[in-house]
Structure 1
């Protein structure tokens, strides 16, 4: 399936960020909503009734109405209405509706960029006992928690791993790198085996590159926020992360002029590049790009990310669900979310759209376990972290991406980039009152 929108949906402008701040300020709601939300009642097993309005971004949710047919059949007095919104417009429209008090009952969120919504004036806390938190990948669950209150339930999951040309690795006589020090030599070996560049790195120099360097900072032993909630970006570990990223370009294994995100797979299939650091959705796309069934199986392998001094850490991303504070049918809304969270439902979603489950046990289903190229992503999902759950993180990540560009092009130092990002982040704060 095609998932470029997973990046496109997060291209939020400063105006969107300001809208998020306005939403956190109360969205026109009174304090009664927060009081009601803080005392969420347990959800029983009685049939769901009434109407539940669901808003979601186009993509993974396109098939959800079909996936939940058994739930609708078991709850005949319930009507579920889906509104699917283009990814690029989704958060803007959702925040506008929330501010006007005209939001849905249930809304989809993205764990990597949902912090501005995690507030009792916007979302109801997840009722105790609705689902088992330990059933989900830890970092995905953590992405919905603020001040020990959980506001969202994970739906589908993804993370980044290495996707590389196994045929070229075999020709070069090399195995996938397991440490930072092995990365550049591995990519150079793929180039000697015939690849134009060893690594196809997205050169958008935006929030997504910033997220990549945040991931490398974790691998180096760093953090993005202190335990006291202060930005910690001007650190030796961040400098190491920026240098590590830049080394892909300064060594000649990646090109600062391309590929762009949408070019990544054609470059990979043609041999212009031999590796991508990317998400699992590409596995199901490469045969179509190559215009040959079975091309992926004979040309591609996957591996967890190489480890820095503190291990192989990636970030968690995907989809999640929340119930709005002013929902008129929260009981039925939570029952719908509970059904979507069942392992069997998540497997059905995978079969319908290749959305990988946020519930770890669902990965044992033969439909998923029988796909060996997904193994590295499962391994990596068990070792992920959530991005900071503060409303300014997206702006900080975007600035970090832009600062990385100068270093990758040899026009700036990693130390200066880290200092610039720290100063910018401090000027924004964390979006908390």
Structure 2
């Protein structure tokens, strides 16, 4: 599975000082710019690519791209693809600086959960007509790159959250994975009775990721983060319910407000200090290593979609995308590169090389992916996801929401107070639509 170090990229969310020099998505973009973007999204032919394509990406999933695109280079002998791989913690900062200085690459990797600030015709070129079939991707991943019906990014790999739990302890306790909110804490309690110290290993950074979790629960409770007109709606009954639901994991004793931290999660899970994680698919490839035993995961672990609230089992869509910069010197070859890495066969090759889950739905039928039963829950969940708000201030709002989550979990503030607080904070930032 992919390495979770991509989380380091998202931790840049609130520290985007350079964004003041960029045309932020949602911040004053007019209909004229949108119309221009649509008009310039010309089709790309099938002739061989030529010239040089400079590609920037974050270290991790992109590390194997040189190997994965060998067939592309063989079919396009007159093109040179140059990769610049940047540490996750520095990636967006360096990309923003390069764009502001007019020295950006031709093609850049983005993250659908944190790319809103780049979705502007002054920064990215619109995806050309017919380059890819938008319906081939998980809908929320494609939608994350849309602004006013103009697509600026093409999905590359996907992930979302699902339930990962100790199947051996569940069997011992005689319980099955919960399917509703009401079943969640009793499930954790049963796993504790079967020998776990805590039923849930919550990631307690009290940061953007906790904020994303509660946003996900608000969707499950029937809420929305933005109104149809584009204003923040974070003090709704659904958000209050989400905060209370999350807090119940801690007030019930199912989870500890202090541990584990992100890097402790796998060792705790393997040792039985915790018995469940609400996490992404990358963890599945790390548990044998944590257990120092090949086959431990297959013998001890099961997965399930997230338990449903009143509006169902909804998660968020995340992963990797590609965009071509507005000032690229070789847009034709750049889009041909993007088209190639978006093909189902290429995404299967990417999965085989690194474990990146395909963003193209049909690629999940390939034997290399389909033979992995623990991925079934993630596929089910990916079909029921939403994108986070595509506004430049979302990352700051989610980070602040994570802090508010902590106060409710620790009982220093009520869910109602926390919802009011995050709404007031979000309104000071705005969305660009007010």
Q: Normalising by structure 1, what TM-score? A: 0.97
Map 1:109-120; keep pairs closer than 5 Å. Answer: 109-120=110-121
CA contact (8 A) 2:201 2:268 kept: yes
Q: How far did 1:15 drift? A: 3.6
Post-superposition CA distance 1:330-353 (Å, at most 9, x none):
000000000001100000000000
Q: How far did 1:236 drift? A: 0.3
Any idea what SS the aligned residue of 1:64 has? helix
CA contact (8 A) 1:37 1:124 kept: no
Q: How far did 1:432 drift? A: 5.4
Q: How far did 1:2 drift? A: 5.7
CA contact (8 A) 1:33 1:326 kept: no
CA contact (8 A) 1:304 1:380 kept: yes
- 1:399 maps to 400
Map 1:295-310; keep pairs closer than 5 Å. Answer: 295-310=296-311
CA pair 251-241 structure 1, distance change in 2 beyond 3 A: same
- 1:66 maps to 67
- 1:182 maps to 183
CA pair 116-223 structure 1, distance change in 2 beyond 3 A: same
Any idea what SS the aligned residue of 1:24 has? coil
Mark the runs of 5 or more structure 2 residues left unpaired by the alignment. 26-31
Are 2:133 and 1:127 equivalent residues in the alignment?
no
* Cα distance between partner residues in 2 of 1:394 and 1:334: 28
Map 1:140-219; keep pairs closer than 5 Å. Answer: 140-219=141-220
CA contact (8 A) 2:24 2:119 kept: no
CA contact (8 A) 1:20 1:117 kept: no
Post-superposition CA distance 1:64-115 (Å, at most 9, x none):
0110000001100000000000000000000000000000000000000000
Q: How far did 1:37 drift? A: 7.5
Q: How far did 1:34 drift? A: 9.4
Q: Which runs of 4+ in 1 moved over 3 A?
A: 31-38
Q: How far did 1:295 drift? A: 0.5
* Cα distance between partner residues in 1 of 2:40 and 2:335: 14
Post-superposition CA distance 1:220-243 (Å, at most 9, x none):
000000110010001000000000
* Cα distance between partner residues in 1 of 2:129 and 2:341: 17
Deviates more, 1:33-42 or 1:54-63: 33-42
- 1:280 maps to 281
CA contact (8 A) 1:21 1:116 kept: no
- 1:3 maps to 3
CA contact (8 A) 2:191 2:275 kept: yes
CA contact (8 A) 1:161 1:376 kept: yes
Map 1:353-392; keep pairs closer than 5 Å. Answer: 353-392=354-393
CA pair 235-267 structure 1, distance change in 2 beyond 3 A: same
Map 1:80-95; keep pairs closer than 5 Å. Answer: 80-95=81-96
- 1:416 maps to 417
Mark the runs of 5 or more structure 1 residues left unpaired by the alignment. none
Any idea what SS the aligned residue of 2:253 has? coil
CA pair 121-410 structure 1, distance change in 2 beyond 3 A: same
* Cα distance between partner residues in 1 of 2:62 and 2:24: 29
Q: How far did 1:122 drift? A: 0.1
Q: Normalising by structure 2, what TM-score? A: 0.96
- 1:314 maps to 315
* Cα distance between partner residues in 2 of 1:352 and 1:264: 25
